[in-house]
């Protein structure tokens, strides 16, 4: 007998029905606080109840949403560049990668290198350099071009084979050359430089193959932490080389998580809710995850879809005997709302038209196209036979005038079927 079989042995489904959910226009047809990715349903007189010995089980049958998200978003775009130079002009700047999708790693590397390049020119001049411009003489990985065999001739997108059969190291490397007004190489005058990826800033370190700067670092350890390898002596200190330690990746979001805000029997790793704070020394805690849904851009670049292939693949058993409302919401793997940091969760847009570092409209989850639909099977499951308290009810007393013999005590302790 398999573990799956033994786990449910003896359980009996007393009642079952499907709950069909569409979170679009949730605030219009329901709770005013509803969003397309944070949806609260009130059953209002259609409460779901389980009696003694039974429980309520929710099983996800299918899930669909349009992939109106970016691989680089507010959860993984931030990093810092810090340092000083000959004139002791220190700099500590937060930089933000553009929120977008990248067709290949070269495109992501190009965005990162250009952000750093522009900042280093400003910092170099502030420290007395005669630099008038900077050039990226090397960027790795390189951009795919229309002449590359790895691009689809019709869509100009990388083919699946070119992405899966990548034989390169996928390591980031950029050489930034400083030039004077005449176009000649010139000293950059930067004497210390660090690229850092603070833990609170999100997961840009994963994209770039850098190292995370943990929040518990203090003092000189925090100041000197090196998120990437930096060489200030390239070409007799007229160029700076920056390299990643680990392979790059185009996304930090291979899955989205459907969560239920109700007490249940699920368990999860602490890191899956780390945006809400992690209890130290505990790797597992009670959880709220109903399902982990993969984002597979190879199969369907525009849609995120899940269909259950096995009975009870994703389910939770509720501790409540009565269900009058159910809140479902979507997050990334750290518990952040999709495309937004939890600290900025009042924001309602995960992807869209940008002006500067923010989106022009903040209504994607309320008036836009960030919503989902799903089918959840609701079952009332008997998991044990309720114990019964059996006693004989006391008889109606016989009037004394009708009594024909000595009264005897009734044996009220004898069984009677009565659930407790």
What pLDDT sits at residue 124? Answer: 96
Same domain, yes or no, for 95 and 241? yes
Question: In this predicted model, what pLDDT tens digit does every residue of 197-234 receive, in sequence order?
Answer: 998 888 999 999 999 998 788 888 887 888 999 999 99
Do residues 324 and 50 touch, judged by C-beta distance below 8 A?
no
Q: Which of 229, 247, 265 is the last residue of a domain?
A: 247
- Residue 391, domain member (yes or no): no
How many separate helices (H) and strands (E) can be counted in the chain?
6, 23
E strand spans, 187-339: 190-198, 212-213, 229-233, 239-247, 255-260, 267-269, 284-286, 289-294, 303-307, 315-317, 322-323, 325-331
Give the list of residues 6+ apart from residue 150 with CB closer than 8 angstroms, or none.
104, 144, 158, 159, 161, 162, 163
Q: Which of 217, 247, 277 is the last residue of a domain?
A: 247
Same domain, yes or no, for 52 and 88? no
Q: Which of 247, 269, 297 is the last residue of a domain?
A: 247
Question: In this predicted model, what pLDDT tens digit does every residue of 272-291 receive, in sequence order?
Answer: 887 776 656 677 777 899 99
Report the number of distinct structural domains present in the chain. 2
Same domain, yes or no, for 317 and 222? no
Q: Confidence band (pLDDT; 50, 70, 90) for 176?
A: very high
Q: Is the pLDDT of residue 306 over 80?
A: yes
Distance CA 294, CA 303 (A): 11
Q: Which range of residues forms the domain containing residue 39? A: 3-69+253-382
Same domain, yes or no, for 19 and 145? no
Same domain, yes or no, for 342 and 205? no
- Residue 242, domain member (yes or no): yes
Token pair 């833990």: residue: 199
The enclosing domain of 350 has a CATH number of: 2.60.120
Same domain, yes or no, for 39 and 185? no
- Residue 417, domain member (yes or no): no
Question: In this predicted model, what pLDDT tens digit does every residue of 374-418 receive, in sequence order?
Answer: 999 999 998 877 666 555 666 777 676 666 655 555 554 555 544
What pLDDT sits at residue 150? Answer: 54
């Amino acid at each position: 007998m398999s573990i799956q079989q033994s786990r449910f042995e003896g359980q009996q489904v007393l009642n079952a029905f499907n709950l069909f959910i569409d979170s679009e226009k949730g605030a219009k047809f329901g709770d005013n606080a509803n969003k397309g990715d944070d949806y609260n349903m009130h059953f209002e007189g259609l409460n779901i109840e389980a009696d003694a010995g039974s429980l309520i089980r929710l099983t996800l049958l299918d899930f669909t949403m349009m992939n109106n998200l970016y691989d680089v978003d507010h959860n993984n775009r931030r990093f810092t560049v810090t340092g000083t130079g000959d004139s002791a002009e220190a700099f500590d700047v937060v930089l933000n990668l553009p929120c977008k999708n990248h067709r290949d790693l070269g495109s992501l590397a190009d965005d990162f290198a250009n952000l750093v390049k522009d900042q280093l020119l400003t910092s170099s001049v502030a420290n007395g350099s005669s630099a008038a411009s900077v050039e990226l003489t090397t960027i790795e990985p390189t951009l795919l071009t229309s002449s590359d065999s790895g691009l689809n001739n019709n869509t100009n997108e990388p083919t699946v084979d070119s992405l899966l059969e990548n034989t390169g190291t996928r390591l980031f490397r950029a050489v930034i050359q400083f030039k004077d007004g005449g176009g000649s190489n010139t000293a950059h005058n930067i004497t210390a430089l660090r690229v850092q990826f603070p833990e609170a800033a999100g997961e840009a370190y994963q994209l770039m193959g850098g190292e995370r700067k943990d929040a518990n670092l203090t003092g000189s350890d925090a100041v000197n932490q090196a998120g990437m390898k930096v060489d200030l002596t390239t070409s007799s200190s007229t160029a700076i080389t920056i390299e990643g330690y680990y392979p790059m990746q185009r996304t930090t979001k291979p899955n989205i998580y459907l969560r239920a805000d109700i007490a249940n029997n699920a368990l999860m790793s602490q890191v899956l809710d780390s945006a809400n704070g992690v209890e130290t020394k505990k790797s597992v805690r009670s959880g709220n995850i109903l399902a982990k849904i993969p984002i597979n851009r190879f199969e369907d670049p525009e849609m995120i879809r899940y269909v259950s292939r096995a009975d009870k693949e994703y389910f939770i058993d509720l501790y409540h005997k009565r269900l009058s409302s159910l809140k479902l919401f979507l997050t990334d793997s750290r518990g952040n709302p999709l495309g937004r940091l939890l600290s900025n969760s009042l924001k309602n847009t995960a992807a869209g038209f940008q002006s500067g570092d923010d989106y022009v409209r903040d209504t994607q989850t309320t008036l836009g196209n960030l919503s989902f639909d799903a089918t959840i099977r609701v079952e009332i499951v008997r998991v044990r036979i309720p114990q019964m308290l059996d006693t004989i009810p006391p008889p109606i007393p016989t009037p004394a005038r009708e009594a024909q013999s000595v009264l005897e005590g009734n044996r009220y302790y004898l069984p009677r079927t009565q659930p407790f």
